[in-house]
Amino acid sequence: MQAIKNAVRNDVEIRNVIKKFGSTTVLNGIDLEVRQGELLTLLGPSGCGKTTTLNLIAGFLEADEGDVYIKGKNVTHIPPYKRDLGMVFQTYSLFPHMTIYENLDFGLKLRKVAKADKERRIDSALHLVKMSGLEHRYPRELSGGQRQRVAIARALVVEPELLLLDEPLSNLDAKLRHELRVEIKRLQKEIGVTTIFVTHDQEEALSLSDRVVVMNGGKIEQISSPTTIYNHPETEFVFQFIGKSNCFHGTVTATDSQKISVQLEDGWGTFVDADNVMGADRTCRTGDQVKLYIRPEKLFITPSDQAQPGPFHKATITQMNYLGASWEIDVALIGKPVQILTPMYDASWQIGKEVMIGWNPSDIMLIKK
């Protein structure tokens, strides 16, 4: 039964939704499908419309145009309390005048769940988030991380159609954030509830999601798996928003089905994989002015006296920062600043020293200017 559903169903469908606040268009024609059982992240800078999208699914906002479907049912004009969802908020939002038990009981009472069943469900929900034994505490008596665990249990105990998470980790410190992130991922896979997670933190999005939706300016830029989002971004925005990047300018000198040759503005050239063209039509022609992007950790660095195959270029070290697990090395490549991230270290690397840097043609992304 479950398997059949998995194969065909979209739990959420958003069709051409437009939302305006006054004269500002916050969502400008959004189309989105959330597959059954997946964890989908809405990622983007503040003001990109990710929270608005979540609020449309939750029912706190109504679309000006377009439709929202949950499990095949058009819910565009249905209020949140009739949608049967679970939601976790940034500010925990536990009812301060109720014990943990009463908080979890709130949704069950409204669903008129029988008493014995209720106790079993509350027990197992608290067990799931490792909060057993704290039923009679008040939210005030819990730490931030504990409160968010209870909030997750409260959202799950009603066995909702969807689980919505609105930046649930942003109020926690770094260590707790990581711990709870792992926990959420485990829980989601264990229960299999379709989950929509809103965040502005790219690391969170990449590590948690089955698919990531990158949004910008009220539009969806790309919907892909985390690895595709990181390694093969479709737009310049996605490349720049996720991770760090180095940028070069150049002109296309030749193309074939496999490779594109680019002459950089300083005279030297490089190849780029034909698959790595970003932008709307994902093609380019000879003579096009282009920008090349490469991530700092995709650049190799070697001492300058070692001969290397492939495209290697001379550069001068301008800055070295030790980050514990890796080194962040700034170099000047023909006068241009370039950042390199490498786990290796060579004692000869010092500020002012010359090194060779190189890259793989498959790691460079290209976009037409």
Partner 1 sequence: MESVRHYAHQEVTQESPLNPKQETEPEKGSQRKKKKTYVPGLLLLLPILLFIFGFFVVPMLYILYLSFIYTDSPTATNAVFSLKNYMLFFSDSYYLSSLWITVKVSLYTVLVSLLLGYPVALTMAKSSPRVRGYIALLIAAPLLVSIVVRNFGWYLLLLPNGTINSVLASLGIIDSPLKLLFSEIGVIIGLSNAYLPFMILAIATSLYNIDPSLERASAILGASPLRSFFSVTLPLSLPGIVSGCVLVFSMSMSAYVTPALMGGANVPMMPVVAYDQINNLLRWTFGSALSYVLLATTMIMVTVFTRGFEKSKFREVFR
Query: Which residue is associated with the tokens 């979890």?
Result: 104
Alpha carbon of residue 97 to chain centroid: 35
- C-beta of 152: minimal distance to partner 1 in Å? 12
The DSSP line for 1-19 is -HHHHHHH-EEEEEEEEEE
Q: Tell me: does residue 227 bind partner 1 (CB under 8 A).
A: no
Asked if 164 interacts with partner 1 (CB under 8 A), we say yes
- What is the DSSP code string of 135-180? TT--GGGS-HHHHHHHHHHHHHHT--S-EEEESTTTTS-HHHHHHH
Query: Residue 204 and residue 273: Cα distance in Å, rounded?
Result: 29
Contact region for partner 1 (CB under 8 A) — 18-26, 150-158, 183-191, 227-235? 150-158
Encode burial over 291-324: b for 16+ CB neighbours within 10 A, e otherwise.
bbbbbbebbbbbebeeeeeeebbebbbeebeeee
Among 12, 129, 142, 158, binds partner 1 (CB under 8 A): 158
Dihedral of CA atoms 164, 152, 160, 127 in degrees, nearest 10, equals 150
Name the phi and psi angles at 166, rounded to 5.
-100, 95
Query: Which C-beta is closer to partner 1: that of 142 or that of 331?
Result: 142
Q: Which of 6, 91, 289, 306 binds partner 1 (CB under 8 A)?
A: 91
60 touching partner 1, by CB under 8 A: yes
Q: How far is the CB of 82 from partner 1 (least distance, A)?
A: 8
The piece of 11-19, 40-48, 58-66, 348-356 that touches partner 1 (CB under 8 A) is 58-66
Among 26, 30, 54, 85, binds partner 1 (CB under 8 A): 85
Check residue 100 and report its DSSP letter.
H
- Closest distance to partner 1 from the beta carbon of 206 (Å): 27
By CB under 8 A, residue 125 contacts partner 1: no
Token output for 154? 């409260």
Integer Cα distance of 47 and 77 in angstroms: 24
Comparing C-alpha atoms, which of 188, 222, 181 is closest to residue 205?
Answer: 181
Q: Which is nearer to partner 1, 14 or 94 (CB)?
A: 94
Residue 32 CB, shortest distance to partner 1, in Å, is: 20
Task: Please report whether residue 144 would count as binding partner 1 according to CB under 8 A.
Answer: no
For residue 54, state whether it binds partner 1 (rule: CB under 8 A).
no
Among 69, 106, 230, 300, interactor with partner 1 by CB under 8 A: 106
Under the criterion CB under 8 A, does residue 96 sit at the interface with partner 1?
yes
Residue span binding partner 1 (CB under 8 A) among the ranges 87-95, 123-131, 205-213, 239-247: 87-95
Closest CA to 56 of 12, 22, 111, 106: 12
Q: Indicate whether 21 belongs to the interface with partner 1 (CB under 8 A).
A: no
CB of 128 to partner 1, least distance (A): 17
- Torsions phi, psi for 190 (to 5 deg): -65, -45
Q: Does 115 bind partner 1 (CB under 8 A)?
A: no
Mapping DSSP to helix (H, G, I), strand (E, B) and coil, where does residue 302 land? strand
How far apart are CB 84 and partner 1 at their closest, in Å? 7
Choosing from 115, 140, 175, 285, the residue that interacts with partner 1 (CB under 8 A) is: 140
- How many angstroms separate the CA atoms of 117 and 132, rounded? 17
Binding flag, residue 49, partner 1 (CB under 8 A): no
Q: How far is the CB of 154 from partner 1 (least distance, A)?
A: 7
Question: Nearest Cα to 125, choosing from 98, 89, 158?
Answer: 158
Name the residues that contact partner 1, by CB under 8 A: 58-60, 79-87, 89-91, 93-98, 106-107, 110-111, 138, 140, 154-155, 158, 164
